[in-house]
Amino acid sequence: MQVPAPVEYERATSVQHAIGLLERLGEEARVIAGGHSLLPMMKLRLANPEYLVDINDLHAELGYIRRGRGEVRIGAMTRHRELLESELLRELFPIFHDAESVIADPPVRNRGTLGGSLCQADPSEDLSSVCTTLGASCVIRGAAGERVVSMEEFHRGPYQTAVGPAELLTEVRVPLRPGGGSAYAKVDRRAGDWAVVAAGAAIWIRDGLITDARVGLAAVGPNTTGIPEISATLTGRPPDEAAFTAAGEIAARSCHPVTDGRGSADYKRHLAAELTRRTLRVAAERAI
């Protein structure tokens, strides 16, 4: 039986309390929210924190989805189920509903959080692709105050983020841009599994031409979100199959998959191209 190493446990009652605990306990402390990523790593001894700071009581403070001036703000403790069921997100950013529909299973969606998913920074994780595709930014809070970073700055590599040892991710801000549509698609071996390959796309159209487009891939190596070459290639073109095919070709050569039990590298590149075409096509149909 796999059992984590002994660990001390603290339960935070507010954001400031959590930051204070992290400051006092030092770099050997880890934050736990849903725990669906951290606890399996602890059981395998891939993660061995000395302290766990439980932030589940912060849901009342950090569990929200609010439309503001020019953006939608989502608290880091917002559960997957809340993202899935949000009519506001389904109207403005349907990519969230697409992605949440294929994330894990109901028990995980009931407990897992947006912040936990982003802070895990797993290259196969769905919401990192979603947030990067939408050009979201992250609010990080520490004892010295708040700072806001882009998703590109937030993710520094596999399992590495810009959140410091005594800091918390508290909010994700998604900009509202006219003429936009978005979509997400995933190929997995069974329902709720990690992706073989997944792709998210967002596109903005004005006067029949693409003004911007972004694609984020998951499970095909690091640094496969955003893909600036796709935006540069599609901007100014009509949203047609030729444009989407060109984007798919860029996606396939921009990723770095490995051959494993989920498929060969060539198969995954094929999926990256196909899913990019499909999601851009759907995103263009949804553009408002």
Report helix, strand or coil for 50.
Answer: coil
Give, for 9, the enclosing helix (H) or strand (E).
Answer: strand 8-11
Per-residue pLDDT, 243: 98
Number of alpha carbons in the 13 Å side-chain half-sphere of residue 125: 25
Beta strands in the chain (DSSP E): 8-11, 29-32, 51-54, 65-67, 71-75, 137-142, 145-150, 155-157, 160-161, 168-175, 180-188, 195-206, 209-218, 225-226
Q: Decide: residue 288, CB within 10 A, 0-12 exposed, 13-18 middle, 19+ buried.
A: exposed
- Residue 120's nearest CA partner among 166, 74, 155 is 155
* CA 58 to chain CA centroid, nearest Å: 20
- The pLDDT-based confidence of 192 (bands split at 50, 70, 90) is low
CA 135/CA 124 separation, integer angstroms: 19
- pLDDT recorded at residue 64: 98
73 against 192, higher pLDDT: 73
pTM reported for the whole predicted model:
0.94
pLDDT in tens, 198-228: 999 999 999 999 999 999 999 998 877 889 9
Q: Given this model, what pLDDT does residue 63 score?
A: 98
- Per-residue model confidence (pLDDT) at position 159: 87
Least confident of 30-39, 128-137, 241-250: 30-39
Contact status, residue 268 vs residue 197, Cβ threshold 8 Å: yes
Structure tokens belonging to residue 209: 């031409």
Which of 104, 106, 108, 85 shows the shortest CA–CA distance to 96?
Answer: 85
- pLDDT tens figures, 75-114: 999 999 999 999 999 999 999 999 999 988 888 889 999 9
User: For a pLDDT cut of 90, what percent of the chain falls above it?
Assistant: 80
Q: Is the pLDDT of residue 120 over 70?
A: yes
Mean pLDDT of 235-253: 97
